[in-house]
């Protein structure tokens, strides 16, 4: 250890050498964010040694925790252990992944222990909510707004004076009323909801529930369909635009008063894939939040609601506020902020799973911001990245790749589940994303070595798999039927493939019959054909793209053809490769990035690659593969520009 590092770190008697090494790579000192991927890599090397001295370190830290945390009379061991991992202290955002790892390994789980210590229930008065005339306006009998922080409606829309809505002001870490946390509107409270929007000058609504979940009504549809109008009190609401993405929908609404000339637009970001009684993927929430912040730049309060307005709502508000604080100060305290939110509205962050998820989403948000390149100067920016002659460790593309590499290594380390059945491919998928076969065929299981990957606009847009073997081709056709596949994209050399018949021919794979119709075309290394898949009286038409992987331009042509086919309604695409990894992963990333460019006029390559790495961490493992992705995007954009001249 260097003398300089020794001076910066606190001295402890008999401190093990490995713990000293940990201090060397950043526990006790600030980290330059540009060097963060390298620090992560170094810390990973000492993980094994850290496990051996964990018991010793914990005993030292317990002693420190007892000194630094507020003392309680007769404190329990559980309380002290919770303090050990950060309940009472701020966390350096660079250390958050390691704090999460340590808390998750503790018995009992430190996140769950912390969650139990949060103030629960109604800790302040809720008299207005329990008045007879207001009780019917509460969606749930146990979730009320506190009197001191509730939103009081000022303007009358009827003869009677009703100032109640189940919503609270929520303060951010600067003690400013940045958020409105509300329950999902009911039919009888829809007009109150819009009164609040007008009164508080809301410009952006974040909706975190679907209208119906698990067969239960979660929220009233308080906006109209496209081309229709909704009359609410003294207002008329119109839907101007609706764009559906993989896990959220963006709506642009217009609200105008019928009694005054007032008219303005409001953006609603509707997260549509939050699992009922669960938590979403961290990367999904990060991307959704980024989309929200891109459209919420007015400084007006951000209106956030789910159904009850406490669980998912608290999670999103916590993420936004703590991300802002972490970026501004470099430190966060999740426990204290959740506690602060619960002073403004009861039960914010409703489950221990949401509390743990918030930490993980924040770690993902702090670590995972790649370069956002705008369409206006995309060619210039990519050329600058690819032709940067500065020292490699100073190049933006190299830094982004190192960040990606460290995140990918974490995924590879966590991907330990291996299928034992020798008939299944060795790179078996995590059950969370794998494809299940639902059709019954005697002697067959529900397993196929395939994984679901979102497109930019469809949560289940792609299925990625490998070539079948003679015993598993039947499962490939089951997959096409069970998951309503519209397009098969297969990477194949000139030798062809045995399990798809040649043009004008058919083959049986009982109970299926596959016909390759006597039509087709070939453009720039991509053969397009039409398959008919039949099972008794059932028929499915499938477009087949055969892509020769020998040249990059062939892959790009396949992406273009699929983008053209997807111009209207989203299609389900099965992508098949000989290795199941590199060619198929590159195809999906290119498709998603170019689809993002068409819709949002910008690209985010890092997020597109991270999303596919979360399904298969063994892709994009070299800098050259990552550079190739940028190069092929540049080639595609340059060709489109040239074609339009």
Residues facing 539 on adjacent strands: 534
Q: Kindly state whether residues 76 and 140 are assigned to the same domain.
A: no
Q: How confident is the model at residue 16 (pLDDT cuts 50, 70, 90)?
A: very low
pLDDT of 370 higher than 90 = no
Specify the pLDDT at position 182.
99
**What is the Cα–Cα distance from 596 to 508, expressed in whole angstroms?**
40
pTM of the model: 0.83
Q: Kindly state whether residues 197 and 313 are assigned to the same domain.
A: yes
Look at residues 308, 340, 367 and tell me which one is the last residue of a structural domain.
367
pLDDT digits (tens, 9 = 90+) for 313-358: 999 999 999 999 999 999 999 999 999 999 999 999 999 999 999 9
Is 220 a domain residue?
Answer: yes
- CATH code assigned at 143: 3.90.190.10
Specify the pLDDT at position 20.
40
Is 211 a domain residue?
Answer: yes
Is 229 a domain residue?
Answer: yes
Look at residues 107, 137, 152 and tell me which one is the last residue of a structural domain.
107
Q: Kindly state whether residues 459 and 572 are assigned to the same domain.
A: yes
Q: Kindly state whether residues 203 and 93 are assigned to the same domain.
A: no
User: What letter would DSSP give residue 528?
Assistant: E
Q: How confident is the model at residue 412 (pLDDT cuts 50, 70, 90)?
A: low
Specify the pLDDT at position 160.
67
Is 43 a domain residue?
Answer: yes
pLDDT digits (tens, 9 = 90+) for 143-156: 999 999 999 999 88
Is 516 a domain residue?
Answer: yes
Look at residues 50, 77, 107 and tell me which one is the last residue of a structural domain.
107
Domain that holds residue 359: 128-367
Query: For the packed helices 352-367 and 282-295, what is the interaxial angle rounded to 10 degrees?
Result: 70
Could you tell me if 484 and 438 are in contact, meaning their C-beta atoms sit under 8 angstroms apart? no
Number of independent structural domains in the chain:
3
Q: Can you give the C-alpha Rg of the chain in angstroms?
A: 28
**What is the Cα–Cα distance from 539 to 519, expressed in whole angstroms?**
18
Specify the pLDDT at position 440.
92
Q: Kindly state whether residues 283 and 315 are assigned to the same domain.
A: yes
Q: Kindly state whether residues 414 and 506 are assigned to the same domain.
A: yes
pLDDT digits (tens, 9 = 90+) for 113-161: 999 999 998 899 999 999 999 999 999 999 999 999 999 999 888 766 7
Specify the pLDDT at position 411.
57
Interval 242-258 mean pLDDT: 96
Is 383 a domain residue?
Answer: no
Specify the pLDDT at position 275.
82
Q: How confident is the model at residue 420 (pLDDT cuts 50, 70, 90)?
A: very low
Q: Kindly state whether residues 96 and 135 are assigned to the same domain.
A: no
Give the chain's mean pLDDT: 84
Q: Kindly state whether residues 171 and 212 are assigned to the same domain.
A: yes
Q: Kindly state whether residues 145 and 87 are assigned to the same domain.
A: no
Which residues belong to the active site? 306
Q: Kindly state whether residues 280 and 325 are assigned to the same domain.
A: yes
Specify the pLDDT at position 431.
75
> Percent of the chain scored above 90 by pLDDT?
65
Query: Among residues 476, 455, 442, which one has the least CA distance to residue 592?
Result: 455
Is 436 a domain residue?
Answer: yes
Is 380 a domain residue?
Answer: no
Q: Kindly state whether residues 91 and 153 are assigned to the same domain.
A: no
- Joined tokens for residue 404: 């990606």
Query: For the packed helices 352-367 and 96-105, what is the interaxial angle rounded to 10 degrees?
Result: 150
Q: Kindly state whether residues 138 and 102 are assigned to the same domain.
A: no
**What is the Cα–Cα distance from 328 to 72, expressed in whole angstroms?**
32
pLDDT of 70 higher than 80 = no
| Most confident of the ranges 82-86, 393-397, 555-559 | 555-559
pLDDT digits (tens, 9 = 90+) for 159-215: 667 899 999 999 999 999 999 999 999 999 999 999 999 999 999 999 999 999 999
Helix (H) or strand (E) holding 574: strand 573-577
């Amino acid at each position: 250890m260097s003398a300089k590092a020794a001076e910066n770190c606190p001295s402890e008697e008999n401190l093990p050498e490995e713990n000293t090494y940990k201090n060397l790579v950043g526990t006790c000192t600030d980290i330059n964010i540009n060097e963060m991927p390298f620090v992560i890599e170094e810390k990973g090397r000492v993980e094994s040694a850290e496990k051996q001295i964990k018991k010793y370190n914990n005993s030292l830290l317990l002693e420190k925790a007892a000194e630094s945390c507020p003392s309680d009379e007769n404190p329990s061991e559980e309380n002290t252990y919770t303090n050990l991992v950060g309940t009472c202290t701020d966390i350096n955002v660079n250390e958050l992944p390691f704090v999460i790892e340590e808390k998750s390994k503790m018995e009992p789980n430190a996140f769950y222990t912390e969650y139990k210590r949060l103030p629960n229930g109604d800790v302040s008065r809720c008299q207005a909510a329990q008045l007879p005339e207001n009780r019917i306006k509460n969606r749930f009998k146990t979730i009320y707004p506190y009197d001191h922080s509730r939103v009081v409606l000022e303007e009358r829309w009827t003869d009677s004076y009703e100032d109640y809505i189940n919503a609270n002001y929520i303060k951010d870490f600067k003690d400013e009323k940045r958020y409105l946390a509300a329950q999902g509107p009911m039919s009888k409270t829809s007009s109150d909801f819009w009164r609040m929007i007008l009164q508080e000058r809301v410009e952006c609504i974040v909706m975190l529930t679907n209208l119906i979940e698990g067969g239960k009504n979660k929220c009233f549809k308080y906006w109209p369909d496209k081309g229709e109008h909704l009359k609410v009190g003294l207002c008329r609401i119109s839907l101007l635009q609706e764009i559906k993405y993989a896990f959220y929908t963006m709506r642009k609404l217009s609200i105008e008063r019928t009694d005054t000339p007032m008219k303005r637009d409001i953006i609603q970001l509707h997260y549509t894939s939050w699992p009922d009684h669960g938590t979403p993927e961290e990367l999904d929430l990060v991307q959704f939040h980024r989309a929200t912040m891109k459209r919420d730049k007015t400084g007006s309060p951000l209106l956030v609601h789910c159904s009850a307005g406490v669980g998912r709502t608290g999670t999103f508000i916590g993420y936004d506020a703590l991300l802002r604080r972490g970026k501004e100060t470099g430190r966060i305290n999740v426990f204290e902020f959740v506690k602060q939110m619960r002073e403004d509205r009861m039960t914010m962050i409703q489950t221990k799973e949401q509390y743990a998820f918030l930490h993980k989403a924040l770690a993902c948000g702090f670590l995972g911001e790649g370069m956002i390149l705008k369409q206006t100067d995309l060619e210039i920016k990519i050329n600058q990245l690819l032709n940067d002659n500065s020292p490699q460790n100073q190049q933006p593309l190299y830094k982004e790749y190192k960040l990606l590499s460290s995140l990918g290594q974490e995924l590879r380390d966590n991907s330990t589940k291996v299928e034992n059945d020798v008939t299944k491919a060795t790179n078996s998928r995590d059950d969370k994303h794998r494809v299940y076969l639902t059709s019954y065929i005697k002697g067959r299981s529900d397993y196929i070595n395939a994984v679901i990957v979102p497109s930019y606009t469809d949560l289940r847009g792609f299925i990625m798999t490998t070539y079948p073997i003679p015993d598993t081709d039947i499962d490939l056709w089951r997959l096409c039927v069970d998951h309503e596949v519209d397009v098969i994209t297969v990477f194949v050399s000139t030798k062809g493939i045995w399990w798809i018949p040649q043009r004008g021919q058919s083959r049986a794979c009982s109970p299926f019959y596959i016909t390759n119709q006597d039509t087709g075309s070939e453009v720039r290394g991509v053969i397009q054909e039409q398959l008919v898949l039949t099972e008794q009286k059932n028929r499915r038409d499938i477009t087949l793209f055969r892509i020769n992987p020998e040249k990059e331009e062939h892959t790009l042509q396949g992406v273009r053809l699929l983008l053209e086919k997807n111009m209207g309604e989203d299609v389900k695409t099965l992508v098949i490769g000989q290795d199941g990894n590199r060619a198929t992963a590159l195809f999906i990333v290119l498709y998603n990035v170019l689809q993002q460019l068409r819709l949002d006029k910008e690209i985010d390559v890092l997020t597109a690659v991270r999303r596919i790495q979360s399904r298969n961490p063994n892709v994009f493992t070299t800098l050259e593969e990552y550079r190739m992705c940028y190069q092929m995007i540049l080639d595609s954009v340059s060709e489109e520009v040239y074609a339009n001249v």
